[in-house]
């Protein structure tokens, strides 16, 4: 099912996931201009207001094209604490939580909410996470959400002067017994 033209806002598990807005640029800088984010994502570093503006433009463009969905993770519907995103063509999901907001299970709760949306509303049969084997927090999130490590060949990605080896974790639509 294609992505709705109207704005996406998801609420469950004590979270409200909403689309990014222009007013969020300063929060994006605060969340994404940190070493962990620079190390584990393709986002530029330093991540300043100019980088935030370019990133938001890309978010809006890929959303309009129906290719990707990026949602701010909030508890109040306003203040972003991180981001969860989904590629609509591949079912690949990603997330990042600001350093100051870690330890609250935000990644687990946001990824659960977006996985449910992907399966139930967008009718994606599979959602995947691509995770470096040494990224213990993300591996823990995948396990907590019942994603399983696939037998797919790990992907080698070159970027930012280093090589990443990503393992694929998958969550398939649960099979429901016939009644």
* Domain of residue 148, CATH code: 3.40.630.30
Q: Report the pLDDT value the prediction gives residue 115, as an integer from 0 to 100.
A: 98
pLDDT one-digit tens code per residue, 3-19:
666 789 999 999 999 99
Radius of gyration of the chain (CA): 16
Q: Is residue 157 part of a domain?
A: yes
Q: Is residue 165 part of a domain?
A: yes
Flag whether pLDDT at 121 surpasses 80. yes
Least confident among 38-47, 62-71, 86-95, 151-160: 38-47
Token code pair at residue 110 = 């946001």
Q: Is residue 178 part of a domain?
A: no
Q: Is residue 4 part of a domain?
A: no
Residue 47 — very low, low, confident or very high, per pLDDT cuts 50/70/90?
Answer: very high
3 state DSSP class of 110: helix
Q: Report the pLDDT value the prediction gives residue 5, as an integer from 0 to 100.
A: 64
What does the alpha-carbon distance between residue 64 and residue 67 come to, in Å, rounded to a whole number? 8
Report the domain count for the chain: 1
Q: Is residue 179 part of a domain?
A: no
Flag whether pLDDT at 2 surpasses 80. no
91, 73 contact by CB (below 8 A): no
Helices (H), the chain: 25-32, 35-40, 49-64, 106-120, 136-144
31, 37 contact by CB (below 8 A): yes
| Dihedral angle, C-alpha 74, 77, 78, 82, nearest 10 ° | 20
Token code pair at residue 73 = 């993770």
| Interval 37-65 mean pLDDT | 92
Token code pair at residue 6 = 């109207």
Q: Is residue 54 part of a domain?
A: yes
Q: Is residue 177 part of a domain?
A: no
127, 69 contact by CB (below 8 A): no
Flag whether pLDDT at 175 surpasses 80. no
Residue 35 — very low, low, confident or very high, per pLDDT cuts 50/70/90?
Answer: confident
| Torsional class of 123: left (φ above 0), alpha (ψ -120 to 50), beta (otherwise) | left
Token code pair at residue 13 = 């598990």
Which residue range is the domain that position 93 belongs to? 9-172
| Torsional class of 154: left (φ above 0), alpha (ψ -120 to 50), beta (otherwise) | beta
| Interval 138-163 mean pLDDT | 92
């Amino acid at each position: 099912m294609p992505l709705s033209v109207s704005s996406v806002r998801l609420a469950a598990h004590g979270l409200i996931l909403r689309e990014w807005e222009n007013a969020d640029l300063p929060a994006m800088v605060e969340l994404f201009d940190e070493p962990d984010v620079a190390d584990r994502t393709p986002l530029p570093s330093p991540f300043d207001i100019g980088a935030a503006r370019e990133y938001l433009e890309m978010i809006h463009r890929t959303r309009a094209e129906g290719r990707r969905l990026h949602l701010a993770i909030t508890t109040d519907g306003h203040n972003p604490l991180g981001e969860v995103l989904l590629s609509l063509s591949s079912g690949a999901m990603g997330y990042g939580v600001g350093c100051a907001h870690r330890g609250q299970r935000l990644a687990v709760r946001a990824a659960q909410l977006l996985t449910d949306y992907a399966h139930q509303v967008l009718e994606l049969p599979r959602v995947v996470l691509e995770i470096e084997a040494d990224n213990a927090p993300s591996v823990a999130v995948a396990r907590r959400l019942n994603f399983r490590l696939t037998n797919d060949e790990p992907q080698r990605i070159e970027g930012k002067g280093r090589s990443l080896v990503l393992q694929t974790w998958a969550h398939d639509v649960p099979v429901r017994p016939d009644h």
